[in-house]
């Protein structure tokens, strides 16, 4: 049985607490705000999962136990992630899991965290959970049957009204990091699942990492918010593959979709094809188009995520698609997108320079 400490009593903290308890793990949730802890016990958890789980321990951060945890989860706003993650390493857990996006696009402390994780020997993960989902895995497997990969497209287009419905204590984007791209919000940060999924497919198909980003972002700026509502990316990989990512916080009904286009067919993923159902369509060679539906619940996303992390910790899985390096590569693309849009130029990513702003070069 694992002992899990979760920083942040918001939506993601509750999701991962429930997933941990579903696997029989011990859970302590801590937060700096007593009201957030009360809301978890009285409202969020029982509303989502039927009743409060008395086995879950709640604590203010200042009173929370330190050390003795197998997994420490950072489920707070992105601009607090890295400092908390560095502090968590000092507790010497087996693993840390940082929610996405990993950090704001300024990449401050990103390289430091990477260095400290390597030195500590602690496993580190970033919570881009879609890539451990069964539908994404099957899409990649179907894509591997194609003779030649022509392009990859991924879209995560979803009005963030759904986010605020899940966070009723927020009146709108101005009430959290979501309304501020420099804090890790906006379409580029909140829906960076799309960038990460594109990277997962490209890497899994042998097309390498993203090395060039050309982006156009549509910003909303008022006296209350500053965020990108639309993020359009054209991408090139180390192997020369060209593709596209679209992320927004304005589309309703939502569209979460990916397509691998080959010269002899395709593989296509639709997340949320129907409520509780993902769908994979594929066609290879001269065969007819086939499809498969995958039933899942929202809690499944997080249970599968934690099961994957357990497999890595026990040695059952060696190379993790949730690794810190994968999450850092996603953040380099997010940072490059803002720079590209601001300068109206393509940005090259030089991975030799680490996970720093210096890795981004204007072309």
User: In 10 A of CB 207, how many CB atoms?
Assistant: 20
Same domain, 212 and 95: no
Can you list the alpha helix ranges (DSSP code H) found in 121-160? Answer: 134-143
Neighbouring residues of 256: CB distance < 8 A, sequence distance ≥ 6: 155, 156, 157, 158, 193, 194, 270, 271, 272
pLDDT in tens, 161-184: 888 888 888 889 999 999 999 999
Same domain, 85 and 215: no
Same domain, 100 and 162: no
pLDDT in tens, 212-245: 999 999 999 999 999 999 999 999 999 999 999 9
Mean pLDDT, range 117-125, rounded to an integer: 98
User: How many domains is the chain built from?
Assistant: 2
Q: Please give the pLDDT value at position 282.
A: 98
Q: Which domain holds residue 240?
A: 130-297+320-362
pLDDT in tens, 22-76: 999 999 999 999 999 999 999 999 999 999 999 999 999 999 999 999 999 999 9
The distance between the two most distant Cα atoms of the chain, rounded to a whole number of Å, is 64
CA distance 247 to 255: 10
Residue 285 has pLDDT above 90, yes or no: no
Same domain, 357 and 273: yes
Q: Please give the pLDDT value at position 149.
A: 98
CATH of the domain at 197: 3.30.360.10
User: In 10 A of CB 358, how many CB atoms?
Assistant: 11
Tokens of 164: 């605020």
Tokens of 170: 């927020």
Same domain, 216 and 231: yes
Mean pLDDT, range 195-208, rounded to an integer: 99
């Amino acid at each position: 049985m694992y002992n899990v400490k979760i920083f942040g009593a918001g939506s993601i903290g509750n999701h991962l607490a429930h997933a941990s308890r579903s696997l029989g793990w011990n859970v302590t949730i801590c937060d700096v705000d007593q009201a957030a802890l009360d809301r978890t016990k009285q409202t969020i958890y029982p509303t989502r999962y039927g009743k409060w789980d008395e086995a879950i321990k709640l604590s203010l951060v200042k009173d929370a136990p330190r050390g003795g945890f197998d997994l420490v989860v950072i489920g707070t706003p992105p601009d607090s992630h890295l400092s908390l993650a560095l502090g968590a390493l000092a507790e010497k857990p087996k693993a840390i899991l940082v929610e996405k996006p990993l950090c704001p696009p300024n990449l401050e402390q990103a390289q430091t965290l990477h260095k400290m994780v390597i030195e500590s020997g602690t496993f580190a993960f970033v919570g881009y959970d879609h890539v451990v989902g069964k539908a994404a895995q099957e899409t990649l497997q179907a894509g591997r049957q194609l003779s030649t990969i022509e392009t990859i497209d991924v879209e995560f287009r979803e009005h963030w009204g759904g986010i605020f419905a899940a966070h009723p204590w927020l009146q709108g984007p101005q009430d959290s990091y979501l309304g501020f791209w420099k804090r890790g919000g906006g379409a580029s940060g909140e829906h960076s699942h799309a960038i990460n999924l594109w990277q997962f497919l490209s890497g899994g198909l042998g097309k390498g990492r993203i090395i060039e980003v050309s982006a156009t972002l549509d910003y909303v700026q008022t006296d209350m918010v500053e965020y990108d509502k639309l993020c359009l990316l054209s991408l090139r990989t180390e192997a020369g593959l060209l593709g596209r990512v679209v992320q927004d916080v304005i589309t309703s009904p939502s569209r979460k979709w990916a397509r691998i286009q080959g010269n002899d067919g395709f593989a296509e993923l639709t997340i949320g094809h129907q409520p509780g159902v993902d769908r994979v369509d594929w066609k290879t060679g001269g065969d007819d188009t086939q499809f498969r539906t995958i039933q899942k619940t929202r809690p499944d996303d997080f249970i599968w995520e934690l099961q994957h992390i357990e497999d890595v910790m026990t040695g059952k899985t060696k190379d993790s698609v949730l690794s810190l390096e994968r999450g850092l590569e996603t953040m380099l693309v997010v940072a490059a997108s803002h720079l590209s849009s601001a300068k109206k130029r393509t940005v090259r990513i030089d991975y030799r320079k680490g996970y720093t702003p210096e890795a981004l070069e204007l072309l």
